[in-house]
């Protein structure tokens, strides 16, 4: 039997936690839909724009009781698990559902942020592409350090306090960060992603 090229599961693997597996099932299925290079516009998205987050967009919950509702700064607290989100186009009111637009959003202590993350954060709130740069799984877990985020598939760890830098493989590319701002009490996208999405091709 040929051994897998992937590293073994870590203790946070969804295979060992039925509740987490159920919660993340939709996200994992979404991540497996297609290679990033093959993705196009989502059905029903405005023809004038793509589905990646754009400056001025709001963020909406991907799953849960408040699915498709806008995320407010007060909804995000330090120490909570990352929130999966999609961009919400304020012009049309539509949630732009696509793999390239899937985000992981987490709130850190502002003093924990290094300059590279601090300039793109909004009151400690940071957002990254949720597509792991190793194998494309969604980033869903907060590391015990509370400043790093983890991919449950193969255990890659990324430093949310330092622009998504890889602190533990097998991933080798940092996560793309999405600059945020708070305007009139709302959490908004301040600029486009600052790097490439997903695994290297």
Residue 149's beta-bridge partner residues?
Answer: 142, 158
Match 């405005």 to its residue by tokens.
Answer: 46
| Alpha helices (H) in 74-114, listed in sequence order | none
pTM of the predicted structure, to 2 decimals: 0.76
Residue of higher predicted confidence among 108 and 47: 108
In this structure, the number of other CB atoms found within 10 A of the CB of residue 21 comes to: 14
The tens digit of pLDDT for each residue in 132-169 reads 999 888 999 999 988 999 998 888 999 999 999 999 98
* Residue 22, C-beta contacts closer than 8 angstroms, at least 6 positions apart: none
Region 64-74: mean pLDDT is 95
Is the pLDDT confidence value at 24 over 80?
no
- In 49-147, DSSP assigns E strands to 58-61, 83-88, 103-107, 125-129, 139-142
Q: Which domains does the chain have, with CATH numbers?
A: 53-189 (2.102.10.10)
The tens digit of pLDDT for each residue in 78-87 reads 999 999 999 9
Distance of CA 122 to the CA centre of its chain: 16
**Tokens representing residue 129 in the block:** 């592409």
Residue 48 confidence (pLDDT): 54
Residue 135 confidence (pLDDT): 85
CA–CA dist 34, 99 (Å, integer): 9
Is the pLDDT confidence value at 31 over 60?
no
Residue 183's beta-bridge partner residues?
Answer: 186
The tens digit of pLDDT for each residue in 44-68 reads 444 457 889 999 999 999 999 999 9
CA–CA dist 15, 33 (Å, integer): 20
Is the pLDDT confidence value at 126 over 90?
yes
Q: How confident is the model at residue 129 (pLDDT cuts 50, 70, 90)?
A: very high
Instruction: Tell me what percent of the residues of the chain surpass a pLDDT of 70.
Output: 76
């Amino acid at each position: 039997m040929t051994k897998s090229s992937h590293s073994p599961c870590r203790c946070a693997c969804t295979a060992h936690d039925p509740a987490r597996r159920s919660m993340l099932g939709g996200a994992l299925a979404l991540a497996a839909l297609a290679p990033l290079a093959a993705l196009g516009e989502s059905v029903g998205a405005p023809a004038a724009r793509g589905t990646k987050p754009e400056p001025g967009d709001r963020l909406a919950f991907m799953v849960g009781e408040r699915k498709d509702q806008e995320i407010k700064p007060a909804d995000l607290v330090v120490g909570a698990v990352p929130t999966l989100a999609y961009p919400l186009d304020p012009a049309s009111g539509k949630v732009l559902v696509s793999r390239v637009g899937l985000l992981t959003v987490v709130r850190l202590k502002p003093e924990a942020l290094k300059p590279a993350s601090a300039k793109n954060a909004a009151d400690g709130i940071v957002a990254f592409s949720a597509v792991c740069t190793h194998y494309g799984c969604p980033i869903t877990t907060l590391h015990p350090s509370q400043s790093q985020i983890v991919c449950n598939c193969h255990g890659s760890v990324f430093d949310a306090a330092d622009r998504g830098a890889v602190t533990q493989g097998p991933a080798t590319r940092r996560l793309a960060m999405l600059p945020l701002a708070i305007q009139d009490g709302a959490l908004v996208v301040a600029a486009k992603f600052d790097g490439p999405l997903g695994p290297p091709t």
